[in-house]
Structure 1
Amino acid sequence: MSRAARICVAKIGAAHGVRGEVRLWPFTEDPLAVLHYGPLSTRDGAKQFTVLRARAAKDHLVATLDGVANRDDAERLNGIELYVSRDALPDTDEGEYYHADLIGLAAVDPQGKSIGTIIAIHNFGAGDIIEIAPNNGPTLLLPFTNAVVPTIDLAAGHVVIELPGEIEGEDEPS
């Protein structure tokens, strides 16, 4: 499987103040890592942004971007996702993966039968959730744990899924 060429590392939010600062929502383990990747660009690569300064705020960063001098300039950037070349990111440790490397992998059961395709990895605060688009039917949201996903084989382009049994506490509808 080829590695994703570009990875989204942050998203620009609303303007902050009147001097052109923006709220920046990083998707990196270390939020301030966005300062060290060099110029970040839009998905299509048409525009580049350099983060000059950033400081931690409540649940985001407040950042100064090169060339953004006032609130009007900052407001025009709201919602832009910022990408970096996959090669600019450090290699992962054993058992760690970039979400972009997992999205698109085939999900198979322990016997190798297709379950579907990974379409997203989510974290709503209680741990990672893997979202799988099955061959038919609604998407599956499963805990991204070693018990449910015991094998990840990037070279083969698939993950093995051990579908959990019945969820304890759920009653059959009457």
Structure 2
Amino acid sequence: MNKATDQSVLLAQIGAAHGIRGEVRVKPFGEADMLDQYGPLHDAAGRAYEIISMRPQKTVLVVRFKGIDSREAAEALNGTELFVERSALPAPQEDEFYLSDLVGLEAVSPEGEVLGKVAAVHDFGGGDVIEIRLAGGKSELFAFTRENFPAIDINEGRMTFVPPETISAREEEEQ
């Protein structure tokens, strides 16, 4: 079994049970109709999940996994994150990337000064948010917008970061 590793990409999260026969609601973090195209998924502990069937329902998928045959078994999966190895995913097109590719990139000013490093990418429901571990060691969250991050160069390991005015004002207050 594959445990979630640095080469694992989070694809979805299992939600509530659906019905009495072991189906679950699954929130995909990418294209919903592709979830069953990558082979077995796995959780952070390495347990494999093979999709037997899936169908869209509003903003989620209703999924039946092999070996999950009761409501109780389905309920036990609530909150489980589902990963796939990066090598199972198609290569991104030119000027595209996976959000997981951003983690570890240097956040640099438009002038090239290193401001910090991308620690994580989050989605709290209002759009993607980039967590930057600033040069001083403190982490801050920033909306993943073109204004804040106008250029990304995966090959160079850096992304241009233009901090919002509120960060500059907060730093002046602390001094």
More moved, 8-17 vs 135-144: 135-144
In structure 2, what is the Cα distance between the partners aligned to 1:55 and 1:9? 16
In structure 1, what is the Cα distance between the partners aligned to 2:71 and 2:89? 31
In structure 2, what is the Cα distance between the partners aligned to 1:7 and 1:49? 15
- Over the matched positions of the two proteins, sequence identity in percent amounts to 42
Q: CA deviation digits over 1:92-137, x for unaligned, max 9?
A: 1222221110012111112322211212334556654322121237
TM-score of the aligned structures, taking structure 1 as reference length: 0.81
Partner of 1:81: 81
Partner of 1:170: none
More helix by share: 2
In structure 2, what is the Cα distance between the partners aligned to 1:119 and 1:138? 11
Partner of 1:61: 61
Q: Over the residues paired in the alignment, what is the CA RMSD in angstroms?
A: 2.2
Partner of 1:19: 21
Question: Structure 1 residue 9 and structure 2 residue 14: aligned?
Answer: no
- Secondary structure of the equivalent of 2:53? strand
Partner of 1:116: 116
1:156 shift after superposition: 2.2
In structure 1, what is the Cα distance between the partners aligned to 2:152 and 2:166? 24
One-letter amino acid matched to 2:144: F
Partner of 1:162: 162
In structure 1, what is the Cα distance between the partners aligned to 2:135 and 2:109? 13
In structure 2, what is the Cα distance between the partners aligned to 1:126 and 1:20? 30
Partner of 1:172: none
Partner of 1:39: 40
1:142 shift after superposition: 3.0
Pairs aligned (count): 162
Consecutive unaligned residues of structure 1, counting only runs of 5 or more, are 168-174
Q: CA deviation digits over 1:51-93, x for unaligned, max 9?
A: 1111112221111001111111111212211111101111212
Distance change >3 Å, CA 110–CA 137, structure 1 → 2? same
1:138 shift after superposition: 4.9
- Secondary structure of the equivalent of 2:95? coil
TM-score of the aligned structures, taking structure 2 as reference length: 0.81
Q: CA deviation digits over 1:7-55, x for unaligned, max 9?
A: 0111111211110101111111x2121111111112242x111111111
Q: CA deviation digits over 1:117-171, x for unaligned, max 9?
A: 212334556654322121237533334333332221222211111234469xxxx
- Secondary structure of the equivalent of 1:67? coil
One-letter amino acid matched to 2:10: C
